Structures are given as structure tokens and as C-alpha cells.
């Protein structure tokens, strides 16, 4: 009995932090400048035997915004990046993804446990039992067909008390985002270098939102799971959650021939990759 009580007591800080109301946190301001994108360092290698003119690399950067997951609201304080490679066998064939990667640094919840409770103490927010971070993790089902972008993901939970692999959602039961992209709001924020579009690509910006996805319960959290789920209201049904992203997009073919680069806005609007 003492052992079970001790485990529940130690799990409480993380559960309280995840469930605490975020009323004190203001929405993140949109990024003032376009993120850096360099296809030469970010894109995967050209598949062996593949025509570079029929191979496209796409980089999507979420530079700001927020996600509300049941009783949890987290500002996007670190960039999230999707780097995808798509190929086709001829110009008349559809593009198919051959590689998709989602990356991003852990995002610290300001003030840790006490910050979410409304009493931030900066001096101790990095203490092991106080510090809490979340990190996006790719699960699959990525498609790009404007005005819709779909993405399955889970949210890793990082805390001293959280076992490795602890997450909101799982590979089998992920968050299924169906982001609506406002194509009327597409704007060029960096024209790049038309003579060298692979190293200096054109970068566009557009808002993306979804408020229809459901949020599953935690997975791989051991004793923290039931406590976190109960306090954070997970699983959370569709209509109780929201994702608002300040998004930047860029793409180029591997041959990087300037003459073959179509108008970037029109090209993104007509691009169809995925189911």
C-alpha cells in the first residue's frame, strides 16, 4: 500500500502540470522572419537510379502557434520541421513520398509545474521534478494536397518521472491532424535566388489550422499514464482540441534547373502527394 501511495505521490507533479489551465499564457506571436531552409543539407540523398528532375524535396517549418490537447495548451516555442522527398517515374505519373521526417527540439513549458499553476518560479523551472518538456514525433500518414495537409503524430512527454517512450498517443493510436491551409493567404516571405533555387529556395508562408481532431490517451507512461489521463481529460474527443500553426513551405526538384522552376505559389497549389 505504501509503495502504491509513494508512486502516485511522485507522479502527481507531472499530472498536475499537464492538466493545469493555460490561461496565463498568451498565444505565441508569428515569427518575424522566414526560417532558414537549405535543401543541400536538409534533403535526403537522391535515390539510386532516380531522375533528379522527377524528384522533389519539400520542407515545411512550423515556426509558431499553439496546440490545445484536452486540458493541455502548449505554445510552439521551437521550430517543428517536416522534410519530405517525393518521386515519380514520369511527368504524367503521380508523386509518391519516399521519405518523411518530422523533427523538433523539446519545448519547455515556461515555469514548469508551477508556471502552469500560475506561479512561475524561473529559478527552479529547470529542476528535474519541475521541468516538463514536450516533443512532436512522426507516426505516419502524411499527405500534401492543398488546401489540406494530413499528418499523424504523437507528443512525447519528457520529465524525470516519465519513462522513455512516454507520449500522448501512440503509433497505433496517434493524433490525426487534417490541417486546413489558407491558400488565399499564401505569401512569399523570401524570394530566394532564382539562379540557385536548391540552395536558396523561395519560401512561402501560410496559416494552417485544425480543430476537428481527437486526442488519445497516453501510452508508455507506466504509473504516470492513468494519472495524467485523468487530470488532463484524455482521451479528448473531437471539438475539444485545436492546432494553430504559423507555417512556412518550400520545395524544389533535385536538378535545381532555374528554367524548370514554376511559380512557387501556383506550384504549391497544384501539388498533390499522398492518399
C-alpha cell at 220: 508508455
How far, in Å, CA of 12 to CA of 15, rounded?
5
Tell me what pLDDT residue 106 has: 92
Q: Could you tell me if residue 194 is left (phi over 0), alpha (psi between -120 and 50 degrees) or otherwise beta?
A: alpha
CB 62 within 8 A of CB 181: no
- Looking at the predicted structure, is the pLDDT value of residue 15 above 60? no
- Looking at the predicted structure, is the pLDDT value of residue 114 above 80? no
CB 255 within 8 A of CB 188: no
Q: Where are the domains of the chain?
A: 2-273
pLDDT tens-digit map of 93-103: 888 999 999 99
Going by C-alpha positions, the residue among 203, 233, 234 that lies closest to residue 217 is 234
- Looking at the predicted structure, is the pLDDT value of residue 32 above 80? no
> Please, what is the angle between helix 224-232 and helix 2-19, to 10°?
40
CA 169 vs CA 91, 116, 225, 235: distances in Å: 38, 22, 11, 9
Q: What is the pTM of this model?
A: 0.79
Q: Scanning the structure block, which residue is given the C-alpha cell 508508455?
A: 220
How far, in Å, CA of 8 to CA of 40, rounded?
49
Tell me what pLDDT residue 262 has: 57
Amino acid at each position: 500500500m505504501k509503495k502504491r501511495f509513494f508512486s502516485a505521490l511522485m507522479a502527481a507533479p507531472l499530472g498536475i502540470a499537464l492538466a493545469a489551465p493555460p490561461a496565463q499564457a498568451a498565444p505565441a506571436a508569428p515569427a518575424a522572419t522566414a526560417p532558414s531552409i537549405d535543401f543541400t543539407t536538409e534533403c535526403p540523398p537522391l535515390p539510386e537510379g532516380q531522375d533528379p528532375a522527377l524528384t522533389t524535396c519539400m520542407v515545411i517549418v512550423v515556426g509558431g502557434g499553439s496546440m490545445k490537447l484536452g486540458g493541455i495548451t502548449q505554445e510552439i516555442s521551437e521550430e517543428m520541421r517536416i522534410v519530405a522527398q517525393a518521386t515519380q517515374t514520369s511527368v504524367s505519373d503521380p508523386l509518391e513520398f519516399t521519405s518523411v521526417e518530422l523533427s523538433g527540439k523539446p519545448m519547455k513549458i515556461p515555469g514548469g509545474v508551477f508556471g502552469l499553476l500560475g506561479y512561475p518560479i524561473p529559478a527552479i523551472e529547470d529542476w528535474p521534478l519541475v521541468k516538463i518538456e514536450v516533443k512532436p514525433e512522426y507516426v505516419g500518414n502524411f499527405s500534401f494536397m492543398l488546401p489540406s495537409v494530413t499528418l499523424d503524430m504523437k507528443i512525447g512527454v519528457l520529465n524525470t518521472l516519465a519513462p522513455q517512450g512516454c507520449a500522448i498517443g501512440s503509433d497505433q493510436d496517434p493524433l490525426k491532424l487534417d490541417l486546413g491551409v489558407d491558400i488565399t493567404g499564401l505569401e512569399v516571405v523570401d524570394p530566394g535566388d532564382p539562379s540557385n533555387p536548391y540552395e536558396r529556395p523561395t519560401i512561402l508562408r501560410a496559416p494552417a489550422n485544425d480543430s476537428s481532431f481527437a486526442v488519445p490517451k497516453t501510452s508508455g507512461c507506466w504509473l504516470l499514464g492513468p494519472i495524467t489521463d485523468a487530470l488532463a481529460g484524455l482521451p479528448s474527443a473531437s471539438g475539444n482540441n485545436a492546432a494553430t500553426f504559423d507555417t512556412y513551405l518550400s520545395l524544389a526538384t533535385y536538378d535545381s534547373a532555374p528554367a524548370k522552376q514554376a511559380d512557387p505559389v501556383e506550384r504549391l497549389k497544384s501539388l498533390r502527394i499522398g492518399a
